[in-house]
Amino acid sequence: MEPNLYRRLAFYLCQQNQLPAEKEYELAYALEVLFINILNLTLTLLIGWLLGVLPGTAACLLVATAYRHTAGGTHARSPWICAAITMCVFPVLAWLGAQLAGLPVVYTRVAAVAAFLLGIYAICRYAPVDSVQAPIISEARHRRLKKYSYLVIGILAAVMLLLEVGSSMWLYARTLQMCGALTILWVSFNLTDTAAKLSQLLDRQQ
Amino acid sequence: MKKVLYSMMGIAVVALVFIANVASASACFYCHYQPEVPESLRK
């Protein structure tokens, strides 16, 4: 969708509700965020479904949303590159998770512990990672997001532990555990400088 | 009918303002593309 279309829609909503002019930018921003995320989410789940790994893809998306919400990460300059990355990476992570979950239990446990430790390290070293379009200006907000990132990784670790306990009763738990671990590793990688350089390289290809 | 449409637009505006605030308060809303945050929401 063209950026002008968000602005026009926001302008119309502002006029109808007699809102001040500065609200137009906020509404246009919300419309853009909403549209891009819904489109990405739908297409990613569709690909996951086509690959036969829909629950795994949904789990990967949930973990990534929770983790990236506070820790941030590298961003593409174009929504189309973003869509391509999301549509490729998460179904592949889910497929990989399903394959690796078939290995002996020790591998899933090692992956979960490694993901947690690397996640903690990445948060400690890099989080929160902002972008030029959405800079984190205030120091207090920076500290708060870092603190929440630790909280999120703690919650994700607790969920992994619950899946470990529940794996004797629920066969799919191992797959979800592996999907979660792989996603944590992916999002942690997205916090690093290497990921930022890779993203710049992709932007230049456009 | 017009009244219903008008109130629905009001609800949409409230929801959009809420989304804009949540999105700007987070480090990243979810996907790998970040639209430019309006000046009024930067902090």
pLDDT, tens only, B16-28:
888 888 888 787 7
Q: Name the minimum distance, in Å, from the CA of A94 to any CA of chain B.
A: 17
Entry pTM: 0.88
| Mean pLDDT, residues A150-160 | 95
* A76 contact partners, CB below 8 Å, separation of at least 6: A82, A85, A199, A202, A203, B32, B33
Q: Please report where in the chains the tokens 């710049």 appear, as a residue.
A: A200
Q: Among A14-28, A56-70, B24-38, where is mean pLDDT lowest?
A: B24-38
Contact A23, B20 (CB under 8 A): no
pLDDT, tens only, A176-197: 999 999 999 999 999 999 998 9
To the nearest 5 percent, what fractions of chain A are helix, strand and coil? 80, 0, 20
> Do the chains contact at B33 and A127, CB–CB below 8 Å?
no
How many angstroms away from the CA of A41 is the closest CA of chain B? 9
Chain B residues whose CB is inside 8 A of the A76 CB are 32-33
Interchain contact, A22 vs B32, CB within 8 Å? no
- Please name the residues in contact with A177: beta carbons below 8 A apart, sequence gap of 6 or more: A101, A108, A111, A112, A160, A163, A164, A167
Averaged over A113-119, what is the pLDDT?
96
**Total residue count of chain B as it appears in this document:** 43
Q: Average pLDDT of chain A? A: 90
| Stretch B12-37: mean pLDDT | 82
Q: Is the pLDDT score of A172 beyond 70?
A: yes
